[in-house]
Structure 1
């Protein structure tokens, strides 16, 4: 009996010792994440944040107008939350002995944050998820910066790569790990001067050129002492994605002839769509214009100003953008239909092989909304020089008038569309579009349209 008791006690001691020895290799959010630095007004779960304090799973971090907080993880991961932002540590479980057990999930509810993957995450990338209200972000061993509000997320990669997908289908906010598949889009640090943007209701993000006012750093700049990326060779300025610059926008390099953007009205190019250089509204509800310099003409649309005014983005491509003025959503009818005539437009054809941009105009344009089915169909001819391309699109209309185009590769569509319809003047609509003009996508067309009820 004594020997049996001793054996049982000895086994218990061995189990206890094994468990104790294993503890350092495992860390949960309670001791895996701590506050490294804090400036200004920052609260964690409603209490002022302090240096060296632990951050538990489920903790909500809120920063004021002057607030910055650096959170350091046990695996050398880093989460930086910038001013006027709200983030959450959903979970941070590290298992260094068995990386397959590592689970890390972060959430940016609003504002701007930067996430730098730690060693454990790099060994278990399949178990990392960074959520926003509209997207799931996975990593390829990464350092990235995010801006989000309830409708739009934009991501810039500082080092490594990411994969981004909108919520829908198998990709849900409750999931873990990256969302892969046809609806996902990747972005790598080597793709300088671009970012990924996704709007609420979209499945797949758009790849856009970074422009002043569009990047997360422009909305909430980093502190001068923010750590540089491992690939950076200078100061933290290297963290800021450079604004896109393209020498081929010089008119002298576009066929040797100074071009202007074609328009379906007699307005001058600088005023087309925007009305003035500040992006004045075509009506009281829809604001649109060109946010990127083209043919030697400065941008006539200020995305930052529209954000500051509380306007909501309804569509953005590589050259043009559409916003809807604050509190102007239209509860669209549930019966009937409405036809529209094209009032104004701008378009540019891009040849990526020849590095040429060519102005284009639209002809034979149609837009029809079916409120009973909550759908729309549209189409027009893109005319550039002696070339003509017939484009068509279709998609859904939400209860508040947002237009979401179907995938441009479905049989009934060959262009992607994003926009909005309002009840101004009995019916006003606008959308941005883009489409491949050849099979390999080396020729593209980008444009914006404004419509009035027929």
Structure 2
């Protein structure tokens, strides 16, 4: 190829320099020379490079069925750990739910019977203000929590629905979309909503001129937007509306007449999340915020650095045991509710406190280890949980433990073998606000044993 290129250059030069009939000036010749060099030295992209879309995030949770479609009509089922790409549409089934974490640490939760297109997701790590994001919620319910791109360039974020354009101000918000109607509520920050028209187009970024603002500071309200004559209105917050995937159904594939009824009373915007969990409980709103009913008990002597457990006789006072692993037991205060009753809502529980010990195989001595990362996700509609734990110790090295499975009606859940092998076991409070979980992970040199407390408040 190099010989062919050199020959082409020689021909070009000879023709330009020695042709007496040349119409080109020396300057024109130089321009032509540069053009030839660029054309000859340009390296074309491979087929793989031309067709490889931009990977912009990962799936962190899937419950039920979730699919990804691209513009070529190709379809794939999503599972945890899968990548997602620009120009893909994510779709959930009637019982499906998917969580996405993007490259800038922004997160999206897509609820059942929903379709969300990732039209644009550009994160400029060096200059975040140059980032740009655009989603299109074709139908269903989505929750969006801003990442670094939107926090740095909120004027370059857009979520479109069939009838509106939504801009944000570093926000955590939820939107439900239908062909001629939409609803939105704000957990934190503020959003700005405007109707799509010739001045506010689907290919734009940021909030449109004249948009209506909805903020957390406005209290217990949400915005309802219609494609009809009565375009928009601020109405009292109704979690039963913005938490549903459609008018007649809930996040659960099992429906009942009473599941369509919202909880009595009104709450403020900061409590949307808790209300979503308990929107179908037949209890007053003030009764939804109960104190943590859990206490950890230890069977034997206190382990080095243990700051969470109590002696067995202390922890059991007024409480009943839920789960144990032979080292620790989780006790829960009895509730007026016999079962954990929320029928809608998917939440990432926050780790309130946690500890982990490493038990050496050689001498069964225990020492304090490090809990490096911990997540717990609960789908109340499908009665499913998903957890991810990372731990480390100077002798045991690093270890990862994942668990997923069913939540029983009494709130108890487990995955794997938490006594003789590797696994997790725990329980959720009957109001859905707290959880406790014990875990165990066997490695070559010993066993990691830990306990955790969680809250979704």
TM over 0.5: no
Give the greater-gyration-radius structure (CA): 2
Q: What is the TM-score with the length of structure 1 in the denominator?
A: 0.42
Q: What is the TM-score with the length of structure 2 in the denominator?
A: 0.42
